[in-house]
Amino acid sequence: AGDELAAYFEAVIGADQKIEPRDWMPEAYRKGLVRQIAQHAHSEIIGMQPEGNWLSRAPSLSRKAILLAKVQDEAGHGLYLYAAAETLGTSRAELFDKLLAGRQKYSSIFNYPTLTWADVGAIGWLVDGAAIVNQVPLCRCSYGPYARAMIRICKEESFHQRQGFDLLYTLARGTDEQRAMAQDAIDRWWYPSLAMFGPPDADSTHSAQSMAWKIKRFSNDELRQKFVDMTAQQAGVLGLRLPDEALRYDEQTGHWRYTQPDFAELTRVIAGDGPCNRQRIEHRRRAHDDGTWVRESAAAYAAKQRARKVA
C-alpha cells in the first residue's frame, strides 16, 4: 500500500495536479511546506510593523486610508497562510511560539527601518513588487491550500505595488526635497529587495527538492532576474534612478545586467543581525501577549455558543 500511495503522490505531482490535505504525502514534503508557509505567514505579520510606523504620519487622508487598507491586507494574508499551514497538522499557536522562540524565520526585508514617508512608497513598489514576482508562480504550487491562498493574495499585492509606485511618482514630481526623499528611499531598499529572493541558486539548500515537488517553480536567481527586468523599466517612467551603476539592458539576452546584492549581509540579517530584528520580535511578542485576553474571550464565547447548541 505504501508504494501505491507514493506512486499516486508522484503521479499527481507529475501531472501538475494538486495534493490536498487528506492525500498521503512524504513527511519531508509536509515539513518543507510547513517551514515555507509558516515563514511566509510570519513575514506578512511582521511586515505590518515597518509600514504601520507611518500610519499616524501619512501626509493626507487618502494616503492614510490607502496605507491602512494595505496593512489590514497584510494581516489577512497572514491569516490565509496560517490557515493553509494548519491543514498540514500544525496549529497557529505552535507557529507563533516557534517564531517568537527564533525557531522559525520571516523575510529578511522587514528587518530594515522605514526612515521617511517615501519608504512606504519604496516598500510598495519594490518589496511588494518582489513579492508579486515570487508569489505568482506559487499560485501553481503543488499543494492545493497554499496555491489557492496565493491567488487571492496576488490580487491584493497588485494594489499594494500600484499604490507604492503612485506614491513615488507623486514625490518624484514634487519639490526637490520630496524628489530627494524618494531617491534616498529607493537607494536604501533596492539591494535588500533583491536579497529577498534568497541566496544564489548555488547556495540554496531547498531549491532542488522544492522544484522537484513543484512547490518552487523558478529558482531564486531566475525570479531575481525577472524582478530586475520588470523594475528597471518602471524606474525610467518614475524618473528616479536605481542605485546600480552597472545596470544596463543587454540586447543579446533581452535581460538587464545588474549588480548582485550583498549575500553576506543577507546571511547576517537572516541570522538575526539586521538593523531591526530585535525590535520586530519584541514588538511581536508584546502584541501577542497584549492579545491574550482577545484570544481567551473568543474561545470562551465559542465554548458558550457550542454549549448553547448542545443544550
**Which of 123, 87, 109, 96 minimizes the C-alpha distance to 41?**
96
CA-to-CA dists, residue 211 to 39, 41, 163, 206, 222, angstroms = 18, 21, 32, 8, 13
- Would you count residue 198 as binding ligand 3HC (CB under 6 A)? yes
DSSP code for 188? H
Binding track, positions 234-273, relative to ligand 3HC; x by CB under 6 A: ------------------------------------x---
116, 163, 207, 277: which one binds ligand 3HC (CB under 6 A):
207
**Segment near ligand 3HC (CB under 6 A); pick from 13-21, 170-178, 183-191, 195-203:** 195-203
- Restricting to residues 75-104, name those near ligand 3HC by CB under 6 A: 77
CA-to-CA dists, residue 60 to 65, 168, 185, angstroms = 9, 15, 19
In angstroms, give the least distance from the CB of 60 to ligand 3HC: 23
In angstroms, give the least distance from the CB of 208 to ligand 3HC: 9
- Would you count residue 44 as binding ligand 3HC (CB under 6 A)? yes
Instruction: Please check whether residue 163 is in contact with residue 128, taking contact to mean a CB–CB distance below 8 angstroms.
Output: no
- Would you count residue 40 as binding ligand 3HC (CB under 6 A)? yes
* The three grid cell numbers given for residue 78, joined into one nine-digit string: 497572514
**Segment near ligand 3HC (CB under 6 A); pick from 112-120, 176-184, 191-199, 278-286:** 191-199
- Would you count residue 199 as binding ligand 3HC (CB under 6 A)? yes
**Which of 199, 70, 214 minimizes the C-alpha distance to 138?**
214
d(CA 235, CA 165): 9
Instruction: Please check whether residue 157 is in contact with residue 126, taking contact to mean a CB–CB distance below 8 angstroms.
Output: no
**Segment near ligand 3HC (CB under 6 A); pick from 83-91, 161-169, 202-210, 224-232:** 202-210
* β-bridge mates for residue 143, sequence order: 19
49, 183, 210, 277: which one binds ligand 3HC (CB under 6 A):
210
Beta strand ranges found along the chain (DSSP E): 248-250, 255-257
- Would you count residue 134 as binding ligand 3HC (CB under 6 A)? yes
- Contact residues toward ligand 3HC (CB under 6 A) are 35-36, 39-40, 43-44, 47, 74, 77, 105, 107-108, 127-128, 131, 134, 157, 196-199, 204-207, 210, 216, 220, 270
